[in-house]
């Protein structure tokens, strides 16, 4: 994945890639397993109800989003979780949540004012 520091459009694309990668349940399962320990595609396929080829495709998507990194250990390729790209995605969710909190607080004030007005 390209470095997204500084360029807002690159940062947005990086966040989009993270959300796209995590939109699939199997990829979320892969991320959860890699959060516990690095693994090969074969090890991940043995633990999940999908083929090794399917796992390889999911790992490619996760790698493109910057969420996993591969290292060669002899003949094996081991995948490691790289959670740093989750930070900007989580920050986006916090910002959106804060906007909704503010909107709901304003709505609650309006509802209370309306209720008070109708009680007169």
Where along the chain do its domains lie? 8-118
Q: What is the pLDDT of residue 52?
A: 96
Specify the range with the lowest mean pLDDT, choosing from 17-21, 28-32, 90-94.
90-94
pTM to 2 decimal places:
0.73
For all residues of the chain together, what is the average pLDDT? Answer: 88
Does the pLDDT value for residue 61 go beyond 60? yes
d(CA 103, CA 95): 12
- The domain made up of 8-118 has a fold known as Arc Repressor Mutant, subunit A (1.10.10)
Q: CB-based burial of residue 33 (10 Å sphere; 0-12 exposed, 13-18 middle, 19+ buried)?
A: middle
Contact 40, 78 (CB under 8 A): yes
> How would residue 6 be classed by pLDDT, with cut points 50, 70 and 90?
low
């Amino acid at each position: 994945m390209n470095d997204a520091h500084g360029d807002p459009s690159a940062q947005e694309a990086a966040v989009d890639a993270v959300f796209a990668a995590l939109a699939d349940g199997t990829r979320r399962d892969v991320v959860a397993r890699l959060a516990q320990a690095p693994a090969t595609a074969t090890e991940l396929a043995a633990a999940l109800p999908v083929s090794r080829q399917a796992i390889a495709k999911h790992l490619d998507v996760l790698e493109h989003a910057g969420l996993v990194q591969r290292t060669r250990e002899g003949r094996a390729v081991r995948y490691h979780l790289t959670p740093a790209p989750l930070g900007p995605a989580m920050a986006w969710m916090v910002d959106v949540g804060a906007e909704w909190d503010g909107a709901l607080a304003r709505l609650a004030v309006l509802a209370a004012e309306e209720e008070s007005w109708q009680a007169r």
